[in-house]
């Protein structure tokens, strides 16, 4: 059943975070939410890691009036995959984001001004190091599992490779060991769209640069879908409001991307979008290693991977490359290729395709 | 051998062109080039049709100083596929373009001002109807062949279906019976990039809106390549000039797209880009028909099709759909799937993969 009411929480840290870039960020704050009850031994915690534009609001509602529940509400609650009668579920907003954790929209305590572009470039590894600080503060030495898709999957990979003694397992969905040249290109043109917007003002805007950010989101949105899902939903239908020979006439799919892009402006910050896009592009599971073999050598936890057939942003072959290396190293690895027409977003839209397998995996891990 | 020196030509027409939209365009002009000599019977002409940003400058040089020869120079000349000792090769700039034929940058003879957005929305069918006017003026009743890739392939399809008695054959490369929802989306975000540029001024600019047009080209450029070709050429290499943790630091592929995008601004007009993008998206070989069967029923000429394995803009399955229908109708059709890593652009970059088959096809047609 659905989880119910949840209260957003904010953790403050006195210590600074030393970033991969060598820069120091701090003091930092981390917005997070929890669901269920931490047991006396503090051994029943599961961390869920969010994707690019996600937040700590994984599930439940802040009050009865809130229209939409958290972003992955369907899998959290009593008797659900992330069973709150059994587990203590944690979700943190990543640093660099704009939903409560320290990011470019935060006030730099050292200057009293918004960071904007003085915010340092961060990596997925940095995001995870911040999460480790939170686990320390919560007294959680070891997580039962870290579970996430897309950028969330990259975070789970960092937990598995950089903090192997702190997790009992990880579930990685729709991820990649490193985005390809094409994936980088698509983020590059999205960045460019924001840079082009005169209202972006090199990050020193008061109001989100809406045209640039909406377009950037539009570009991203295409990469999250698939030609098949777009064809099923919109095909080549022309907007009924427009004439086919109107210069500004739109196809339905065009109108949809525009509508969603402008909606996005109301809920996400342009600078955060840019910082997280960069973190995605820079992501490389083998960062600092000679090879993927070396990167995966420290892994001790069983890992479960899911890839989705129509995901052209992080195609299945990229996940399979990791699975092969892990197998070669004799690691415990479970891989499932899910047939789906929903593209990259399948991990969010079709949870019923993988939750039974995750459930089995978690049960085996706890034995 | 290479063709040598060519002179650009301009055809003027007194008659108006009645467009698919019901609007009237005219009087129109068509820029074109010819290579080789028209025989006395006027029966040795081949029309080559260009893609989105192409021009009539198919081959040769305007003078000894011109640095680059025409866009498909490698296949035109004595002894080459389009053998100028044998054929009279014609290439016209499509209406709507900015290389000499009537388009949004032209002066509207009825107002004395640039058309800009008062230019009517045009279709590929309109482009071909304008070419028919030119053939009439040149006294060419029947073309040996119409040959083109991408939007050029769409034009060849229109000749085959709308003017079947005017052609002896057609060669269609990297085309589609109608762009998919994803292909439309990618053009839609490219259009959006131009609309967002304040220097576009709803088409009433004096100077090309460079940031918007460069970005639009960058988006288009991604669709012409493939992940494989980008990976081979750039991989994840970071620009040696930038630090990986610089906010504005670029991956090599990012720098390449930007560099090429800004170069494009010097040679292509933003409004033409928009009008031709729209013509591409609106393209449907079955326009006005109940089915593709009905659309292809009038075809009398043998058709040869090429698709390229890594073309994700107009994937091979879309060409194969046409081939299947033509076969079902008992039409003469020849189809080749070319293995290539170059994506949609393969038809321009790897002519050696298909020219031998086109040569055989043309020889058979002439028998």
Condensed to tens digits (0 to 9), the pLDDT of residues B177-219 reads 999 999 999 999 999 999 999 999 999 999 999 999 999 999 9
Percent of the residues in chain A that have a pLDDT greater than 90, as a whole number: 96
Where do we find the tokens 């031709």?
A: B276
Contacts of A233 in chain B (CB under 8 A): 181
Q: State yes or no: cis peptide before A27, omega within 30 of 0.
A: yes
Residue A192: partners with Cβ closer than 8 Å, 6 or more residues away: B215, B218, B258
- Predicted confidence (pLDDT) at residue B5 exceeds the cutoff of 90: yes
Predicted confidence (pLDDT) per residue in A343-355, tens digit: 999 999 999 999 9
Torsion of CA A224, A226, A229, A230, to 10 degrees: 90
B219·A219 Cβ contact <8 A: yes
Q: What is the pLDDT of residue B236?
A: 96
Q: Indicate the pTM of the whole model.
A: 0.97
pLDDT for the residue A240: 85
Instruction: Indicate the SS3 state at residue A149.
Output: strand
Q: Shortest CA distance to A215 belongs to which of A179, A265, A288?
A: A265
Q: Which of B150, B169, B272, B340 is catalytic?
A: B150
Q: How confident is the model at residue A238 (pLDDT cuts 50, 70, 90)?
A: very high
Beta strands B303-308; B333-338: pairing state: parallel
Q: How confident is the model at residue A28 (pLDDT cuts 50, 70, 90)?
A: very high
In this predicted complex, what is the ipTM?
Answer: 0.96
Q: What is the pLDDT of residue A54?
A: 98
Provide, as residue numbers in chain B, all residues whose Cβ is less than 8 Å from the Cβ of A235.
181
Q: Which residue has the tokens 């198919």?
A: B58
pLDDT computed for residue B38 by the predictor = 98
Closest Cα of chain B to A295: distance in Å?
Answer: 18
Mean of pLDDT over chain A = 97
Residues A53, A352: Cα–Cα separation, whole Å: 22
How far, in whole angstroms, is CA A317 from its chain's centroid? Answer: 20
Average pLDDT over residues A261-267: 98
- Among left, alpha and beta (phi > 0; psi -120 to 50; other), residue A176 is beta
Model pLDDT, residue A367:
80
Nearest CA in chain A to B226: A182
The pLDDT of residue A84 is 98
- Whether the pLDDT of residue A15 is over 90: the answer is no
Contacts of residue A211, Cβ cutoff 8 Å, sequence gap at least 6 = A197, A199, B196
pLDDT of residue B184: 98
Complete DSSP assignment for B80-119: SSEETTT-EEEEEPPTTSSSSSSSTTSEETTTTEE-GGGS
Predicted pLDDT at A241: 87
Higher pLDDT, A294 or B365: A294
Average pLDDT score over residue span B252-279: 98
| Interchain CB contact of B312 with A (< 8 Å) | yes
Pairwise CB contact (< 8 Å): A120 & B245: yes
Which of A210, A281, A155 has the alpha carbon at shortest distance from B246?
A: A281
Which residue, among A120, A200, A247, A255, would best test binding to B if mutated, counting the most B CBs under 10 Å from its CB?
A: A247
Residue in chain A closest to B231 (alpha carbons) equals A181
Contact (CB<8Å) B196/A185: no
Is residue A11's pLDDT more than 90?
A: yes
Tell me the per-residue pLDDT of A296-307, one tens digit each, with 9 for 90 and over: 999 999 999 999
Alpha-carbon gap: B75 to the closest alpha carbon of chain A (Å): 30
B20 has pLDDT over 90: yes
Looking at the complex, report in whole angstroms how far the Cα of residue A200 sits from the nearest Cα belonging to chain B.
Answer: 12
Task: For residue B256, give every residue at least 6 positions away whose Cβ sits within 8 Å of its Cβ, in sequence order, or none.
Answer: B233, B234
Residues 6+ apart with CB under 8 A from B247: A117, A121, A274, A278
Question: Which pLDDT does position B116 carry in this prediction?
Answer: 98
Q: Which of residues 91-130 of B touch A (CB under 8 A)?
A: 117, 120-121
Direct distance between the N- and C-terminal alpha carbons of chain B, in angstroms, rounded to an integer: 25
pLDDT in tens, B124-183: 999 999 999 999 999 999 999 999 999 999 999 999 999 999 999 999 999 999 999 999
Which of the residues of A are catalytic? 150, 311, 344
- How many angstroms separate the CA atoms of A199 and A201, rounded? 5
Please report which confidence band the pLDDT of residue A366 belongs to, taking 50, 70 and 90 as the band edges.
confident
pLDDT at B366: 81
B324-336 average pLDDT score = 98
């Amino acid at each position: 059943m659905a989880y119910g009411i949840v209260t957003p929480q904010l953790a403050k840290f006195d210590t600074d975070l030393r970033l991969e870039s060598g820069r120091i960020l701090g003091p930092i704050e981390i917005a997070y939410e929890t669901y269920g009850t931490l047991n006396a031994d503090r051994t029943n915690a599961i961390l869920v890691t969010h994707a690019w534009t996600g937040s700590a609001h994984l599930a439940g509602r802040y009050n009865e009036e809130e229209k939409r529940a958290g972003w992955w509400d369907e899998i959290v609650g009593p008797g659900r995959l992330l069973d709150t009668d059994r587990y203590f579920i944690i979700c943190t907003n990543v640093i660099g984001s704009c939903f409560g954790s320290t990011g470019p929209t935060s006030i730099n305590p050292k200057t009293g001004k918004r960071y904007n572009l003085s915010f340092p470039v961060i990596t997925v590894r940095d995001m995870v190091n911040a999460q480790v600080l939170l686990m320390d503060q919560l007294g959680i030495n070891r997580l039962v599992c870290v579970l996430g898709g897309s950028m969330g999957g990259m975070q789970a990979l960092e937990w598995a490779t950089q903090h192997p003694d702190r997790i009992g397992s990880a579930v990685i969905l729709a991820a990649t060991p490193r985005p390809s040249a094409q994936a980088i290109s698509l983020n590059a043109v999205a960045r460019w769209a924001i840079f082009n917007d005169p209202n972006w003002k090199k990050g020193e805007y008061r109001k989100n640069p809406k045209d640039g950010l909406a377009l950037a989101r539009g570009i991203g949105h295409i990469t999250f879908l698939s030609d098949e899902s777009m064809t099923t939903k919109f095909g080549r239908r022309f907007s009924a409001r427009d004439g086919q020979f109107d210069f500004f006439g739109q196809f339905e799919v065009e109108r949809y991307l525009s509508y969603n892009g402008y909606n996005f402006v109301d809920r996400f910050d342009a600078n955060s979008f840019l910082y997280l896009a960069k973190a995605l592009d820079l992501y490389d599971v083998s960062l600092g290693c000679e090879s993927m073999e070396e990167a995966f050598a420290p892994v001790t936890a069983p890992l479960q991977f899911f890839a989705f057939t129509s995901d052209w942003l992080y195609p299945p072959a990229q996940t399979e490359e990791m699975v092969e290396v892990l197998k070669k190293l004799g690691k415990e690895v479970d891989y499932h290729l899910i047939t789906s027409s929903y593209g990259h977003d399948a991990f969010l839209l079709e949870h019923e395709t993988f939750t039974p397998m995750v459930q089995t995996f978690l049960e085996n891990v706890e034995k």
